[in-house]
Structure formats: structure tokens, C-alpha cells
Amino acid sequence: MAIEEFELGLARLPAMVWTPTKYKPSQMAEFISLIHNHNFKISKAAVKAQIEPKSAYKYHKEWRANGGTVLPGYKLASEVKLKGNNNKLTENHSQFIDNYVENHPTCIVKDVTDCLCAAFGDLTINESSVYRHITDKLQFTLTRTQSRIAERNSEDTIEKRRQFVEYLMKNSVDFKRKCVFVDESGFKKNMVCPVGWSKKGTPVEVEVQYSRKAPTLVFWAACQPMD
């Protein structure tokens, strides 16, 4: 059967890998067919199939070496060593990345890549691939972070608020007219990255600790006007 008489996509090539990056299998099939079915010279067939002459002679030599049984450009999968960076991320990899970024919104891509490779010892992947997976597949985006004070809504703080309100009610204190309020302006104990990862359309909240060293006291008084 002549090469041009069958569709290349239907030809069974078990455990074979197409290795050329510049040419398609259809070009190679046309090149070989022109030579062996239409008596084209190698140079003329190369021009017709849009293959560089130097490469054409190499592929024709490869075709003759295998006895015309395998289209030039195909190699046994066992003989081809795929680059580690071409490894596809599985669903388990994707879930690991999603959880890591959710729990560490201010992380950098290098941290994600290092932890991913450490968790999956057989995986080798570069940071660019991980970045594309985070932004394209998982739909994360870099957004300005919003600080959330750790103690602000802690159980102890909420309990103190409740007790204070109960005290005011029990003693019939008119806090709007007979109270002096004291406040302290603290400062952040640790610096926080100004941007972080979040799902598109959602804010990035980062829990921060506040130091109470050298606070600035602010007084505000409310009293009943004198008659």
C-alpha cells in the first residue's frame, strides 16, 4: 500500500514516540512517498514536503536503515528519555499545590515547587510550569493582602467584651455620658508581604500579631454636662 493511501493518524505505532519538533508526521509521510512512489529525488521531495535538505538526507538514511518499516522520526518510547520538566501534574499534585497555596497565601513559587518535589520524590518540574499551573489551572491570582489581627476576634477577647457589657448593664453605667475610654495604638510585630495568592475575586487575609511595646495612649471622655 502506498504511503499516501492511508491516513497517518490511523496507523498503529505501539509504544512509539514522534521526536522531531520542527516537522509533522504528515510531512515525513509525504517526503517518503514522493521518493519511493513517485521517483522524486531527495532534494526535490524535501522542497515539496517543506523539509530542510540536510535533514531530508538524514531522515532518508534513517528510513533505509530500518528497512522501510517505521516512518523516520518515530522512535521506541523506551529509547526516548523525556525531559523531567515535561512531566504532567496529576490530580494529586494539583490538590497538593492548591492546599499549600491556600494555607500559605504569601508564598513564592520557588517554595511551592520545592515542597511539591519533596512530597513527590519522583517528580521533577521547573518553577515556570508550577506558576502556570497555579494561575491557569487553579485560578489563583496575586492580590494586595489585608491584615487581620490575630487577637481581635480570639475567644479571650470576645469573652472580655461580654463581661464588660454585663458589668455596664449590672451597674447601670451610662457609657455614653459617664465613661472614660482608653485605647492603645500598637504596631505590627512582623512584616507582611504586600501581595498574596487568592482565588480570583476573593481577598487575601493574612493573620498578623501586634506588639504592645511602647503604645500610644488615647483618652476619650464622656461626661454629663454641668448645670
Percentage above 70 pLDDT, the chain:
68
Domain stops at, among 34, 60, 79: 79
Is 7 a residue whose pLDDT tops 70?
no
- Rounded Cα–Cα distance for residues 83 and 125 (Å): 9
> What are the phi and psi torsion angles at 192 (to 5°)?
-120, 135
Determine the 3-state secondary structure of 44 from DSSP.
helix
Alpha helices (H) in 72-154, listed in sequence order: 91-103, 109-119, 127-132
Q: Are residues 73 and 112 in the same domain?
A: no
Q: Are residues 23 and 91 in the same domain?
A: no
- Residue-range definition of the domain harbouring residue 171: 147-222
Domain stops at, among 59, 79, 99: 79
Q: Are residues 176 and 162 in the same domain?
A: yes
Q: Are residues 58 and 99 in the same domain?
A: no
Determine the 3-state secondary structure of 177 from DSSP.
coil
Do the domain assignments include residue 227?
no
Do the domain assignments include residue 151?
yes
Per-residue confidence at 184, pLDDT binned at 50, 70, 90? low
Do the domain assignments include residue 124?
yes
Do the domain assignments include residue 14?
yes
Number of domains, the chain:
3
Nearest to residue 12, comparing CAs of 74, 57, 64?
74
User: Could you report the per-residue pLDDT of 142-180, keeping only the tens digit for each?
Assistant: 888 766 665 666 778 788 888 888 887 888 777 677 777
User: Could you report the per-residue pLDDT of 12-54, keeping only the tens digit for each?
Assistant: 445 677 787 788 888 998 999 998 888 999 999 999 999 998 8
Q: Are residues 161 and 217 in the same domain?
A: yes
Q: Are residues 66 and 124 in the same domain?
A: no
Q: Are residues 7 and 25 in the same domain?
A: yes
Q: Are residues 8 and 75 in the same domain?
A: yes
Tally of helices (H runs) and strands (E runs) in the chain: 7, 7
Do the domain assignments include residue 119?
yes
User: Could you report the per-residue pLDDT of 49-75, keeping only the tens digit for each?
Assistant: 999 988 999 999 988 888 888 888 888
Do the domain assignments include residue 129?
yes
User: Could you report the per-residue pLDDT of 74-124, keeping only the tens digit for each?
Assistant: 887 766 655 544 457 888 999 999 999 988 888 889 999 999 999 998 888
Q: What is the mean pLDDT of the chain?
A: 76
Q: Are residues 161 and 198 in the same domain?
A: yes
Domain stops at, among 138, 157, 173: 138
Do the domain assignments include residue 167?
yes
For 111, 185, 194, 195, 224, the CA distances from 191, given in Å and listed in that order, are 18, 17, 9, 12, 43
Q: Are residues 91 and 37 in the same domain?
A: no
Q: Are residues 15 and 30 in the same domain?
A: yes
- Residue 140: strand pairing partners: 199
Do the domain assignments include residue 70?
yes
The edge-to-edge listing of strands for the beta sheet with 204-208 is 195-199, 140-149, 204-208
Residues 6 or more apart in contact with residue 116 via CB below 8 angstroms? 93, 96, 97, 100, 123, 125, 130
pLDDT value for 12:
46
Nearest to residue 200, comparing CAs of 150, 140, 123, 129?
140
Residues 6 or more apart in contact with residue 168 via CB below 8 angstroms? 175
Q: Are residues 191 and 211 in the same domain?
A: yes
pLDDT value for 188:
55
pTM of the model: 0.42
pLDDT value for 112:
93
